[in-house]
């Protein structure tokens, strides 16, 4: 796992010199920034990115870039945890620091972001919370993003982060199957990036169905189903959960809103579909292909037949991260 830490951008410093190292880093940057660096380093939040044992160096760098793009929009202190799977011979913590300043949209709008990466063996786990707390910006909200962890029960050992964070973020496409049902200390704070990525699709379907009265949507409903490309299994399950919640809010009985997810592969398509099945003549189907970005609605919900084309997309990783954190 040290390969992940080594692959991340930054300058290695002694763990007890992180604060001093960041101060020296910004001192070097001052000459390149319009105005004092202290004036543009104002952060809005803390983000802890925990790179689990399933993370490769390439994947770790990709998540670093996602966090960096997010931080450029929402200035924050990012702390990246890199636990060592093979920690034979490892002694204590290793640390890296990274910072950059960039120009915003408006004239004179310069912002700075800063990262701290920590690599640690199991022997250092006992005092990791102290090391993390020192790295965080005081009095700012904390968000915890766990990426590619292999066991929910072992991640649950990070009680400080799980209990202190305003949101606990995971990606159901990349974590154990029980991650969304595990008894986390604060289940109301758990957010799924797969659900967040679906925001444009959920909005499109919701806007279409808003033209129909809720009672009409569920009056003769027998069941509903989701189809998903195998690569979109997490998004398919998230779409099922969302549809079940919305149909229940419309008054559908519990046996009608369980829903099913069927994995379907059709050539080059990266498809998703949502279909409601009714006893009578009513029908509803949305389908979309993320490969082409094209989709369509086909429905009969008490009026005439409707066929309507639509655009299909998922949120980019950094925007999905923001959606999961703040909404």
Q: Which residues 6+ apart lie within 8 Å of 68 measured at CB? A: 78, 100, 113, 115
- Please report the DSSP string for 187-222 in residue order: GGGEEEHHHHHTHHHHHHHHHHHTTS-HHHHHTTEE
Beta strands in the chain (DSSP E): 11-13, 45-51, 76-83, 94-103, 110-120, 142-147, 167-170, 190-192, 221-228, 260-263, 271-278, 283-289, 294-300, 306-311
**What is the model's pTM?**
0.94
Domain residue spans of the chain: 2-185, 197-317
Residue 83: strand pairing partners:
120
Name the class of domain 197-317. Answer: alpha beta
pLDDT in tens, the chain (327 residues): 489 999 999 999 999 999 999 888 887 766 555 455 555 566 889 999 999 999 999 999 999 999 999 998 998 999 999 999 887 777 789 999 999 887 766 666 677 889 999 999 988 888 899 999 999 988 999 999 999 999 999 999 999 999 999 999 999 999 999 999 999 999 999 999 999 999 999 999 999 999 999 999 999 999 999 999 999 999 999 999 999 999 999 999 988 899 999 999 998 899 999 999 999 999 999 999 999 999 999 999 988 899 999 999 999 999 999 999 999
Measure CA of the first residue to CA of the last residue in the chain; give whole Å: 32
Q: Are 168 and 186 in contact (CB under 8 A)?
A: yes
């Amino acid at each position: 796992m040290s390969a992940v830490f080594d692959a991340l951008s930054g300058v290695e410093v002694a763990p007890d010199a992180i604060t001093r190292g960041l101060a020296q880093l910004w001192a070097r940057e001052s000459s390149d920034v319009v105005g004092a660096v202290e004036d543009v380093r104002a952060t809005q939040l803390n983000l802890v990115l925990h790179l689990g044992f399933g993370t490769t160096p390439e994947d770790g760098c990709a998540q670093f870039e996602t966090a960096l793009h997010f931080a450029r929009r929402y200035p924050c202190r990012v702390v990246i945890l890199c636990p060592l799977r093979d920690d034979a011979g490892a002694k204590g913590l290793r640390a890296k620091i990274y910072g950059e300043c960039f120009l915003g949209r408006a004239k004179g709008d310069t912002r700075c972001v800063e990262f701290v990466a920590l690599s640690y063996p199991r022997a250092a786990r006992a005092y990791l919370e102290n090391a993390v707390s020192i790295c965080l910006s005081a009095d700012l909200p904390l968000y915890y993003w766990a990426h590619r962890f292999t066991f929910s029960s072992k991640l649950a050992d990070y009680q400080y982060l799980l209990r202190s964070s305003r949101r606990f973020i995971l990606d159901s496409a990349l974590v154990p199957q029980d991650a969304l049902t595990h008894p986390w200390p604060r289940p109301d704070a758990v957010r799924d990036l797969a659900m967040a990525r679906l925001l444009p699709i959920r909005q499109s379907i919701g806007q279409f169905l808003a033209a129909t009265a809720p009672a009409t949507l569920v009056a003769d409903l027998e069941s509903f189903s989701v189809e998903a490309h195998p690569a979109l299994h997490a998004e398919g399950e998230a779409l099922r959960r969302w549809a079940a919640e919305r149909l229940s809010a419309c008054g559908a009985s519990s046996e009608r809103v369980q829903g099913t997810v069927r994995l379907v592969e059709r050539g080059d398509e990266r498809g998703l579909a949502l279909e409601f099945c009714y006893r009578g003549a009513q029908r509803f189907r949305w389908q979309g292909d993320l490969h082409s970005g094209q989709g369509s609605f086909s429905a009969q919900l008490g009026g005439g037949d409707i066929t309507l084309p639509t655009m299909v997309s998922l949120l980019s990783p950094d925007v999905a991260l923001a959606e999961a954190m703040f909404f």
